[in-house]
A = this chain, B = another copy of it.
C-alpha cells in the first residue's frame, strides 16, 4: 500500500550574509525543501514551515531515515495520508558552523545566520516556490538549538512568522548551559587550551560525547559573547578557564540571549501568533523542562496564548513528537 509522496529538492544558495564570515565556513549552502504531494500537478499556493535543526546538525539531517523514526519528509507524507496534517512546504536551512552551530543568530564570531534565514532564504523561497508569502502562513519549528532558533527568530520577527513550535528548546541558560562549564573547562584544559583543543577535535575522525559537550560551550560563547579579537573561537568565555570563576559580565551577555528574558519585550508580537507550541521531556538531560516551565509561566503572566506538553522522556530521539506538532502547525498556517 503506497501513500502519496512529496518531493524533496535541494537548492544551492550563495549567501551574501555568510560571505567572508570570520571562521571561513562555506557561504554556499544547500537548502533542502519538501514539496507536498500534488505540488507539481497544481497551482495551489502553500504555507511554509521553516525547520531548524539542532546543534551539530543541518537541515538535510532532518530527512535522515530510521525505520522506527522516519525523516521529516516521510513523516509529513504519512501525516497527510491519514488526514492529520494539511499540505505545507518544509524548508530546511543549513546553519552549521565550524563549532557545530550558530544558534540562528548574527554573530561576528560565526556569521550572520539570522540575516541569512530571514533576509535571504525566506524571500528566496517565496520567490521560487508557490508559497503563501505572508506571516500568517509562515511558521518556524525546531528542536533543541533548533527550538531555540524558532523561539528567537519567532520573537524577533513577528513580521515574518505566524506560528512557532519549540521542541525542547534551549531556555533557562542557568541550567542548560552552566552545568557544562565544569566539564568543558576540564576538556579544554586537558586538551591544552582552546586552540589546541579545537585543532585536535577537528582532526579527530570520531567525535565523542564529551567533546561535543565542550564544543557546545565554545559554540554558545561564539554566538552569545563573540570577541573578534580572540581567535580561534573568537569569543569570551563566561568562566575563567583555570578556576571556573564566573565572569558576570560575559554571563550577562549570554543571559541577554535567553528567550526567558527576551519574552517580555516581544510580548506584543507573540500575542499575534496563531500558534505558540512548546514541549519538553520530563527527564531532559539538559534540564530544559525547567526552562520550558519558567517560560510557560511567564507566557501565562503576560497573557500570551500558548500550548505546552510534557512527555515522559528525555532530550534524545524525540522526533516522534513532530507527529503532534506538525499537524498543529499545518492547521495553524493553513489559509
Please, how many angstroms separate the alpha-carbon atoms of A174 and B313 in the complex?
A: 28
Q: Is the CB of B294 within 8 A of A245?
A: yes
Instruction: From B175, B182, B297, B323, give the contact of A290 (CB < 8 A).
Output: B182
A256, CB-defined interface residue at 8 Å: no
Q: Which secondary structure dominates where chain A touches chain B?
A: loop
Q: Which of A14-22, A55-63, A264-272 contacts B (4 or more CB under 8 A)?
A: A55-63
Total contacting residues, chain A, CB less than 8 A: 43
Q: Is the CB of B61 within 8 A of A57?
A: no
* Minimum Cβ distance to chain B for residue A321 (Å): 8
A207, CB-defined interface residue at 8 Å: yes
Q: Is the CB of A65 within 8 A of B58?
A: yes
Chain B residues near A249 (CB-CB < 8 A): none
Chain B residues near A293 (CB-CB < 8 A): 242-244
Residue of B nearest to A294 (CB): B243
Chain B residues near A229 (CB-CB < 8 A): none
A328, CB-defined interface residue at 8 Å: no
A269-292 interface code vs B (CB 8 A; 1 in, 0 out): 000000000000011000100110
Q: Is the CB of B206 within 8 A of A317?
A: yes
* Minimum Cβ distance to chain B for residue A96 (Å): 5
Chain B residues near A175 (CB-CB < 8 A): 181-182, 244
Q: Is the CB of A320 within 8 A of B243?
A: no
Q: Is the CB of B186 within 8 A of A244?
A: no
Please, how many angstroms separate the alpha-carbon atoms of A96 and B246 in the complex?
A: 32
Q: Is the CB of B287 within 8 A of A207?
A: no
A64, CB-defined interface residue at 8 Å: yes
A200, CB-defined interface residue at 8 Å: no
Chain B residues near A207 (CB-CB < 8 A): 68-69, 317
Chain B residues near A297 (CB-CB < 8 A): 243
Instruction: From B56, B242, B291, B313, give the contact of A67 (CB < 8 A).
Output: B56
Q: Is the CB of A65 within 8 A of B56?
A: no
Q: Is the CB of A313 within 8 A of B65?
A: no
A318, CB-defined interface residue at 8 Å: yes
Chain B residues near A57 (CB-CB < 8 A): 67
Within 8 A of B (CB), among A104-151: none
A38-71 interface code vs B (CB 8 A; 1 in, 0 out): 0000000000000000001110110111111100
Interface residues of A (CB under 8 A from B): 56-58, 60-61, 63-69, 96, 172, 174-175, 178-179, 181-182, 185-186, 205-207, 242-246, 282-283, 287, 290-291, 293-294, 297, 313, 317-318, 320, 323
Can you list 9 A-B contacts with CB-CB less than 8 angstroms, sorted by A residue number? A56-B67, A174-B178, A178-B178, A182-B290, A205-B323, A206-B318, A243-B290, A243-B297, A244-B293
A-B residue pairs, 4 tightest by C-beta: A244-B290, A205-B320, A182-B287, A64-B64
Q: A67-B96, A244-B290 are in contact. List 20 more A-B contacts (CB 8 A).
A: A56-B66, A56-B67, A58-B65, A58-B67, A61-B66, A63-B65, A64-B65, A68-B207, A172-B244, A174-B178, A175-B181, A179-B179, A179-B182, A182-B287, A185-B290, A186-B282, A186-B283, A207-B317, A243-B293, A245-B290
